[in-house]
Amino acid sequence: MLQQEYTITVYTENQIGLLNRIAIIFSRRKINVESLNTSPSEIDSVHRFNIVITETEEVVRKLCRQIEKQVDVLKAYYNNNEEIVWQELALYKVSTDVIATEVKVERLLSQYGARVVVIRKDYTVFSVTGHREETDRLIQVLEPYGLIEFVRSARVAIIKSSEGFHRKLTQFEYREPASDVVENEFLNQQEKVFSM
């Protein structure tokens, strides 16, 4: 099976220690986490993790089951890059003097989608939001002029086909979970799986 980039989306309770519980599921298996973001979700009390790894689908599916097994985890989904809309944010700090004299700032803004976040006498901070290639491109442009600081955020992703977690959550709140709380990929492949 082919390795590719997967984004895992985890809906959880907001519990101290849960970040560690989830992180060690990867480190125990020596799987490198390329990016990890935790944030609120569309629901007030529910937290949302975005985790990016490069692995085969089989490995990712097993990881999601291990994640879902954790008591404070509501649900874990995994998606490849076609199935999500995603962004990363990068900040670039450069010397204002150099920038002002040597770079066509307007070109930066138009061609690379950069925004100016601050301009001070001594430095200027640009930001770019986008995919990895887009944030990388500006590094290349700015590097010759002395990039003082660079930082890029974790990936945040929205699942294209998701209808959000509101309906799911009400199912979780039932004493007896509704039958579709447990997804089952086997059932959808009935023919393939059950033929002798």
Residues of this chain that interact with another protein (CB under 8 A) are 12-13, 16-17, 20-21, 24, 28, 61-62, 65-66, 68-69, 71-74, 169, 172-173, 175, 177-179, 181-182, 184, 186-187, 190, 193-194, 196
Q: Least distance from C-beta 23 to another protein, angstroms? A: 10
Q: How far is the CB of 111 from another protein (least distance, A)?
A: 46
DSSP state of 68: H
Question: Which of residues 17 and 82 has its CB atom nearest to another protein in the complex?
Answer: 17
Tell me the residue length of the chain.
196
Q: Which amino acid is at 42?
A: E
Please give the sequence-ordered ranges of beta strands (E in DSSP) within 14-162, or none if there are none: 35-40, 46-55, 73-80, 84-95, 115-119, 123-130, 147-152, 156-159
Supply the minimum distance, in Å, between the C-beta of residue 75 and another protein. Answer: 9
- CB nearer another protein, residue 119 or residue 181: 181
Nearer to another protein, 80 or 171 (CB): 171
Amino acid residing at 90: A
For residues 140 and 126, give the distance between their C-alpha atoms in angstroms, rounded to a whole number. 14
